[in-house]
A = this chain, B = another copy of it.
Amino acid sequence: MINVDEGKEMYELMKRLFPICRSITGDGVRKTLRILQEHIPITIVEVPTGTQVFDWEIPNEWNILDAYVMDEYGTKVIDFKENNLHVMGYSVPVNQEMSLDELQEYLYSLKKQPDAIPYITSYYKERWGFCLAHTERQRLKDGMYKVYINSELKPGSLTYGELIIPGETEEEIFLSTYICHPSMANNELSGPVLAVALAKWLLARKNKYTYRIVFIPETIGSLTYLSRNLEHMKKNIVAGFNLTCVGDDRTYSYLPSRQGNTLADKVAINVLKNHFPEFVEYTYLDRGSDERQYCSPGIDLPVASLMRTKYGQYTEYHTSLDNLDLVTQDGLQGSFTLYKDCLELLEWNEYYQIACLGEPQLGKRGLYPTLSTKESGSMVREMMNFIAYADGSNDLVDISNIIDAPAKRLIPIVEKLIENNLLLVNRGEKE
C-alpha cells in the first residue's frame, strides 16, 4: 500500500482551485496564488503591462465577469458561469444580436470529440469567441441570439508567485509550474498542487540545495521570470524540473532538457529506469511547455520534465474532459514520490571517493563476512562495487548506472561508509 496522505491533500487543493477562471494575466491568477499562500509562504510579484521581456511584451490584463449566448426565448444556450472554458481566453467585450449563421464563425467545437468543450485562446490578437461541445452546437436552432461578454482588456500586470527555500549552499534546484489555464485538472492544476506538496516537504527538511519554486503563467510568465532573474539562475541552478501533467495514473514519461545530459536528466533517467523501466522517453523535439524558454539558446538551463501522460498525448488534453475525474489521488501521490526520489537523489548526489588505497578491509569493521566460503562473496557485492567506482570522478548517479543498482539502494551504503570514515566527498572535482 502506498501512502496517499499527500495525494489526498493535493487532490483536495485541486478541487478548490478548479473552478477559478485563470488566464495569463488577471484576477484568476491572483486568487489562485492567494489560496496557495495558505499552504506555503509564496511571494506574489506583479509586472506591469508593456514591460519588455526579451522579444516579447507583457500584454494587457484580461478579466471577465460574465458571458453568455441567449436565444430569442431568453434561454442562455451557452453560459460562462457553467464552465469557464465556454469563452475563448482573452475575448474582447461584446454585446450584440446576430443570427445563428453570423454566430457560427465565433463558435469553436470539436467534431471528433463531440462531447468536449475545447480550450481556445487568442492572447495576442483581439478576438472574441465561444467554445462548446459539438453536440450542443448542433442543437442550436436558427434564429437570433444575444451574445454578451462582459470582459475587460486593459493595462494592468502579469502576476506570478515565487518561493525560495534556502539550503546549505547557494546552488539551486529549480521547480517551475504554471497557473494560467482555466478549469482543467491534469494540464494544469496537477502541477501547482504537486509543487505545493514538494515545497511543504522541503520546508520541513534541512536541505543541501537552495530551492527556487515558481508559479507562473506559461510562456510569457517564464519569459518574464527569466528576464528578471537570468544571471542569478544561470549561475546557481544545477538542476530543474517543469511540473506539468502529473495527476493521472498512467505510465510516467520523461522529456529531456535541450542538452539532454544535464544533472536533471541524469537523475530523472536513473530514477525512472530503476523504478519505472516502462516509462515513455520523449526527445526535446516533443517539447511544448516552459522548457521551450528555459532551454532556449543562450538561456540553457538544465530543466527536464517528469510527467504522467504528456500534454498533447491524451485525448482529454485542452478540453473540458481534462477534469477532476481524470486526475486521481494515487496518480498525484505517485508523482509526489517520484519527484521526492529525484530530489533526495540530488541531495545525496556527490562525487564520492574512497578514503584508502586498495580495497578497504571491511571485515575489521563488521561490514564483511569473516568466513570465506564459495557463497559468501555475493553478500557485500553491492558495497564492494560502489567502492570500486568511488574514485572521485563518478557521482552517485554514475556509480548507480555503472554497477546497475538503484541509487536509492546505494544511499544507505554511502551513509555506512561515511560513518566508518571510508568515504570522502570530492566537491572540488565536480564537473
CB-CB < 8 A to A155: which residues of B? none
Cβ of A182 to closest chain B Cβ, rounded Å: 13
Bound form: Cα–Cα A318–B376 in Å:
13
> Complex: how many Å from CA A387 to CA B122?
23
Please give the distance in Å from A56's CB to the nearest CB on chain B.
5
Q: Closest CB-CB distance, A217 to chain B, in whole Å? A: 13
Say whether A288 faces chain B, with CB atoms less than 8 Å apart: yes
Which B residues lie within 8 Å of A370 (CB)?
Answer: 122, 124-125, 127
Report the bound CA distance from A227 to B359 in whole Å. Answer: 12
| Cβ–Cβ contact B374 & A318, under 8 A | yes
Chain B residue nearest in CB terms to A360:
B55
B125 touches A388 (CB 8 A): no
Task: Report yes or no: B390 in contact with A297, Cβ–Cβ below 8 A.
Answer: yes
- Cross-chain contact A358 with B127 (CB below 8 angstroms): no
Q: A121-B372, A370-B124, A370-B125 are in contact. Are A361 and B296 (CB under 8 A)?
A: no
A110-131 to B contact mask, C-beta < 8 Å, 1/0: 1000000011111111010000
Copies in the complex: 3
B125/A371 in contact, CB under 8 A:
yes
Encoded as 1 (CB less than 8 Å from any B CB) or 0, chain A from 199 to 220 comes to 0000000000000000000010
Instruction: Give Cα distance in the complex from A230 to B312, angstroms.
Output: 57
Q: Are B55 and A373 in contact (CB-based, < 8 A)?
A: no
* Size range of the chain A interface in the assembly: 35 or more
- A40 lies within 8 A of chain B by Cβ: no
**Chain B contacts of A288 at CB under 8 A?**
377
Instruction: State the CA gap A230–B356 with chains docked (Å).
Output: 14
Please determine whether B118 and A374 come into contact, CB atoms closer than 8 angstroms. yes
- Is the beta-carbon distance between A372 and B285 smaller than 8 angstroms? no
- Across the interface, name the chain B residue whose C-beta is closest to A294: B358
Q: Is A226 part of the binding interface, using a Cβ–Cβ cutoff of 8 Å?
A: yes
The answer for the CA separation of A319 and B375 in the assembled complex, in Å, is: 12
Q: 1/0 per position for A379-407, CB-CB distance to B under 8 A? A: 00000110111111000000000011000
Q: Say yes or no for A223: interface residue by CB 8 A criterion.
A: yes
Contact A358–B108 (Cβ < 8 Å): no
**A317 interfacial by beta-carbon distance below 8 Å:** yes
A296 vs B356: C-alpha distance when bound (angstroms): 10
| A364 on interface, CB distance cutoff 8 Å | yes
Bound Cα distance from A120 to B292, whole angstroms: 62
Chain B residues in 8 Å Cβ range of A361: 55-56, 124
A83-141 residues at the B interface, CB under 8 angstroms: 108, 110, 118-125, 127
A326 within 8 A of B: no
CB <8 Å contact, B56 and A358: yes
A63 within 8 A of B: no
Structural contact, B298 and A357, CB atoms closer than 8 A = yes
Which of B120, B372, B387, B403 is the one whose CB lies under 8 Å from A371?
A: B120
Q: How far is the CA of A3 from the CA of B127 in the complex (A)?
A: 48
Q: Does residue A284 face the partner (Cβ distance < 8 Å to B)?
A: yes
A222 to B354, CA, bound (A): 18
CA distance A358 to B359 in the complex (A): 50
Q: Are the CB atoms of B371 and A55 closer together than 8 Å? A: no
User: Hey, which chain B residues are within 8 Å of A353, CB to CB?
Assistant: 297
Residues of chain B lying within 8 A (CB to CB) of residue A391? 297-298, 300
Q: Are B285 and A371 in contact (CB under 8 A)?
A: no
Please give, as numbers and ranges, the residues of chain B lying within 8 Å of A374 by CB-CB distance.
110, 118-119, 317-319
Q: Nearest chain B CB to A39's CB is how many angstroms away? A: 30
Residue pairs across A and B with Cβ atoms less than 8 A apart, 16 shown, are A54-B358, A56-B358, A120-B373, A121-B372, A124-B364, A127-B371, A285-B404, A292-B359, A292-B388, A293-B359, A296-B357, A296-B358, A297-B387, A298-B357, A312-B377, A317-B374
Q: Can you name 17 extra interface pairs (CB under 8 A) apart from A227-B358, A258-B389, A297-B391?
A: A55-B356, A56-B358, A108-B373, A118-B374, A122-B370, A122-B371, A122-B372, A124-B363, A226-B358, A230-B357, A292-B388, A293-B359, A295-B388, A297-B387, A297-B389, A298-B357, A317-B374
